[in-house]
Copies of this chain bind each other. A is one copy, B any other.
């Protein structure tokens, strides 16, 4: 599958914000104003670029997204607001598009003034770098502690035309709802109305990025942007049509892939684990139990040690606030039963099998809490020494 999506170009260059010569400035540009929507962090402390983006996207249109990494431009006061405004002004002028159609995004350290002059000087070379095949360079330019670029693609047939959905994300620490603590950008050449796009984005985010945790911390900068150029075909698709449902599935698939990549790349993580809860009274209860297990430091260190410590998992479920009877709880690690109806059932042989499963890069822990119909899941990762090393030293 090609990395191209009709109507979009991408760029990534080095501006000088990062200390190590890595790409740190990215740009997505639509040939024409694209239908646009976004979801933003619910943190009360919001970075300047989030405030500016939210205001500008009220128009429902966007033509360019300017993203810097290495500095979040958060907790930087008026100066930070002015930097975000000034940089989008320079980008708009270089691209010859209205400033109202350019939105900023930032990720990196909080509370340090943005090196605005360095970024301004890099904008001409950034614009010169734009190309239809530049998505991976863009993906590299928005990385912080990420181990690699994160992209996901899907195709959607609209009439006889094959359309594309391309997602690009960054994020390794500070991952938790609400919502995804990360930056994600999705572009598609499917023609959609704004209201449709907004609704589908919220729905897809809820079951993907809002079901993923690395460390329970929500950032000041979390944002997911979606831009639809409509360049692939002229037929605007309806949410309830077959094509609309296919697009919704493709968008969820792309966001799910990105969310999993983000958790798998959780700082220092070695295991991507899906916590699957079944048999709860309601779906809300099931997600609440899955979230609490997924967020438990003790569970996450046990995952790191490949230790099938069902006791910590049950203790986490028990403090989730959801109602269930501990005597009705059963648990499996992969396909290995380790706890049944309130009692541990591991034998030395099954304990070994569970430990083997836990050495895998990705696996599922299933927790059945009763006979109810409620179900829900959460993606998490292990908590290891690398997380401590990265985060005890990050700023200095």
Contact = CB atoms under 8 A, between A and B. Distances in A.
Contacts of A305: 391-396
Interface stretch (A14-22, A39-47, A98-106, A247-255): A39-47
A128 B395 CA distance: 57
A233 B44 CA distance: 55
Interface stretch (A25-33, A184-192, A275-283, A310-318): A310-318
A368 interface: no
Interface stretch (A114-122, A198-206, A211-219): A211-219
Contacts of A75: 310-311, 314, 326, 339, 342-344
Interface stretch (A55-63, A135-143, A296-304): A296-304
Interface residues of A, number: 63
Nearest to A315: B220
A53 B18 CA distance: 58
Name the residue among A46, A301, A344 with the largest chain B CB count within 10 angstroms.
A301
A132 interface: no
Contacts of A319: 42-44, 217-218
Interface stretch (A156-164, A234-242, A382-390): A382-390
Contacts of A320: 44
A353 interface: no
A289 to B, nearest CB: 10
A77 interface: yes
A193 interface: no
B311 A109 contact: yes
Contact of A44 (B77, B215, B216, B323): B323
A326 B45 contact: yes
B387 A110 contact: no
Contacts of A13: none
Interface string A83-107: 0000000000000000000000000
A76 interface: yes
A244 interface: no
Nearest to A322: B44
Nearest to A341: B77
Contacts of A318: 43-46, 218, 220
A293 to B, nearest CB: 11
A179 to B, nearest CB: 11
A324 interface: yes
B109 A326 contact: no
A324 to B, nearest CB: 7
A356 interface: no
Given A217-B298, A344-B75, A388 B383 contact: yes
Nearest to A309: B395
A45 B314 CA distance: 7
7 contacts: A43-B318, A110-B312, A217-B296, A220-B311, A301-B391, A305-B395, A309-B394
Given A43-B318, A77-B342, A217-B296, 19 more contacts: A44-B326, A45-B318, A45-B326, A72-B311, A76-B344, A77-B343, A109-B311, A110-B309, A111-B309, A217-B297, A217-B316, A219-B315, A301-B391, A302-B395, A304-B392, A307-B392, A307-B393, A383-B388, A385-B388
